[in-house]
Amino acid sequence: MAFNQDANEFHWLMDMLESVEVGLVVLDLDFHVQAWNGFMEHHSGITASQIQDKVLFEAFPDIPEAWLTRKVDAVAMLNTRPLRPGNSALTCSSSGIHARSRALKNTCSRT
């Protein structure tokens, strides 16, 4: 019985992540893309299977690598959430991922 409940919760969570109207990207500590939701596929033109296990900075070279690396290192080391809204964040409009050559350059701001 617990297996069915766990499976149902997993499928519910996956469905929510795919249908939420917000971009969701999950990276490992080496910046390899582990998850890329439907919003990201729609707005970037890159499917999850195309970017899976690719290094984020290779796909989007305009992302400020040194800055993001510092933020991810802080999260890993301190187990904090410096990338959540209200703290230091990389804020991007959905139009920022339409043109890969400008990837996040003109529409992202660091706060």
Q: What percent of the chain has pLDDT over 70?
A: 69
In whole angstroms, what is the distance from residue 75 CA to residue 57 CA?
A: 18
By C-alpha distance, which of 90, 107, 88 is closest to 98?
107
Domain ranges of the chain: 22-110
**pLDDT at residue 108 tops 80:** no
pLDDT (mean) for 56-63: 93
Query: Looking at the domain covering 22-110, what would its CATH class be?
Result: alpha beta
Scored b (16 or more CB within 10 A) or e, 47-85 reads ebeebeeeebeebbebbeeeebeebbeeeeeeeeeeeee
In whole angstroms, what is the distance from residue 75 CA to residue 92 CA?
A: 20
pLDDT at residue 1, rounded to an integer: 58
Note the pLDDT tens digit of each residue in 75-101.
777 776 545 444 433 444 444 433 333
In whole angstroms, what is the distance from residue 49 CA to residue 109 CA?
A: 28
Note the pLDDT tens digit of each residue in 8-51.
887 787 777 777 788 888 888 889 999 899 889 988 999 999 99
Give me the residues paired with residue 33 across strands. Answer: 27
pLDDT (mean) for 62-81: 83
Calculate the alpha carbon distances from 87 to 28, 64, 75, 80, 83 in Å: 21, 17, 12, 11, 6
**pLDDT at residue 64 tops 90:** yes
